[in-house]
A and B are shown apart, each in its own frame.
Chain A
Amino acid sequence: MENVQLTVSDFVALVNQTLEYAYPTVTVTGEVAEFRVSQGKWVSFKLKDDGALVDCFMPAYSLRIPIEDGMKVVVVAAPRISPKWGKFSLNIRAVKPVGEGSIKKGFELLKAKLEAEGLFAPERKRPLPRVPSRVAVITSTESAAYADFCKIVNERWGGMDIEVAHTQVQGDPAADQIIRAIKYFNNLEQLPEVLVIVRGGGSAEDLMTFNDELLAREIAGSRIPTLVGVGHEVDHTLADMVADRRAATPTNAAEILVPDRREIIRGAHQQATSLGHQLVQAIDQYSVRTRDQLEAAYRRIRERLDDSFERLATLRLAVAQLNPDTVLQRGYALLRGDVAVGKAIEIETHTTVITAEVHDVRSK
């Protein structure tokens, strides 16, 4: 190449061609410095370590997790020289924080951004159907989390049509795959009643997929109510914060999704049994009321009878007073016959009957 004279354009094109051939993509880890967004469209920053630095450049829409100066990131990029400016830079395809501190920082930045937009607001949350008949699930069908989810769902409830979209749930392609699966279910003619996204536990880096901005926005924009169960109880991701309902784990997602048929069966029998108790109670109440009414009627009859007996006794006494024998007993006498001089009359006392002749009759 020493004797070949090149134009500047040819030289830069040749270098870029060589770079593209030798290093179509490189993965570089470093610390972000001089982070800048121009016109809301272009992101530029320097990636540095103790010994060197390199310019980085990318469209703003490719930035899936916010970054800022001082964060440690890994970039997947194509190295090239800008023909216009003559600067060597990394054209970034993907960038993500690495290390616990930077991952946490990226998470907090995006969380604050989405929160400010109201994506976590409780009033956005839609209720899930109590017993869905059509369910969509997005997960890795090869995972233990999926097996656990299916086991619990099948134990708890039946009769549902469940469609499962198999996607990666960690690594760089995972977020885009899950986004495509969400779009797929949201474009079905007959929408599922609930969309479940589950993934088992993992490291902070494993779960980073669920802190992707575009994925969080896709979940928030889903026409189908969403239920997200990622990681363990302690893991909080942006995906479950924007979901209509968060489940602590995939198993918990299954528990939230459907009621437990054993509890429903027990409840149905308890309801029927309680009606039996109420029926017996009602019969008892009717019996008590009927007995009370009978007793009241009996008491009234008794009272009436007592009154009658009392009146009868009074009458009997009055009748007894009027009995001629009673009068004779008191010393009076009963006189029968024609009261005229010379006529015989009969005189009856209490103990004797006397026949006598009338000698004299005078007016009083």
Chain B
Amino acid sequence: MSEANNNKTVQQKLSELSELVTWFQSPAFALEEAVTKFKAAETLAEEIEKDLTKLKNDIKVVKKRFDTEE
């Protein structure tokens, strides 16, 4: 699960987590699958935390000058 999640973006992981929440509230809910899905949700939450904590922005100042018409 965790290895497969490495290639996913935070957005994808958030969407997956939302889908799991929806499944728990849907008629498709089955106790037999619920434990596996709950564990997947916990893993996703941990990975989202890890991913978001380490993300940095790349801020670049444009070299072009705007004080004169080109």
* B-side contacts of A163, CB under 8 Å: 60-62
Contact (Cβ within 8 A) A276 B38:
yes
Which A residue's beta carbon lies closest to that of B23? A275
**Interface 1/0 per residue, A120-142 and B, CB below 8 Å:** 00000000000100000000010
CA gap between A269 and B55 in the complex, in Å = 18
Contact (Cβ within 8 A) B45 A168:
no
CA gap between A158 and B44 in the complex, in Å = 18
Contact (Cβ within 8 A) A282 B38:
no
> CB within 8 A of A173: which of B52, B54, B64, B67?
B67
Q: What is the interface of chain B mostly: helix, strand, loop, or mixed?
A: helix
**Contact-size category for A:** 35 or more
* B-side contacts of A166, CB under 8 Å: 61-62, 66
> CB within 8 A of A157: which of B48, B49, B55?
B55
> Which residues of chain B in 38-70 are interfacial with respect to chain A, using CB atoms and an 8 Å cutoff?
38, 41-42, 44-45, 48-49, 52-62, 64, 66-67, 69
Which A residue's beta carbon lies closest to that of B51? A159
* A-side contacts of B57, CB under 8 Å: 153-154, 157-162
Q: What is the interface of chain A mostly: helix, strand, loop, or mixed?
A: helix
**Contact-size category for B:** 35 or more
Contact (Cβ within 8 A) B66 A184:
yes
B1 at the interface (CB under 8 A from A): no
CA gap between A283 and B37 in the complex, in Å = 14
Contact (Cβ within 8 A) B11 A272:
no
Contact (Cβ within 8 A) A165 B62:
yes
With contacts A275-B24, A282-B31 taken as known, whether A265 is within 8 angstroms of B49 at the C-beta atoms is yes
A164 at the interface (CB under 8 A from B): yes
A→B interface (CB under 8 Å): 131, 141, 150, 153-154, 157-168, 173, 176-178, 180-181, 184, 261, 264-265, 268-269, 271-272, 274-276, 278-279, 282-283, 286
B→A interface (CB under 8 Å): 10-11, 14, 17-18, 20-21, 24-25, 29, 31, 34-35, 37-38, 41-42, 44-45, 48-49, 52-62, 64, 66-67, 69
Further pairs besides A158-B52, A165-B61, A265-B45: 5, Cβ < 8 Å: A159-B10, A166-B66, A180-B66, A271-B18, A282-B31
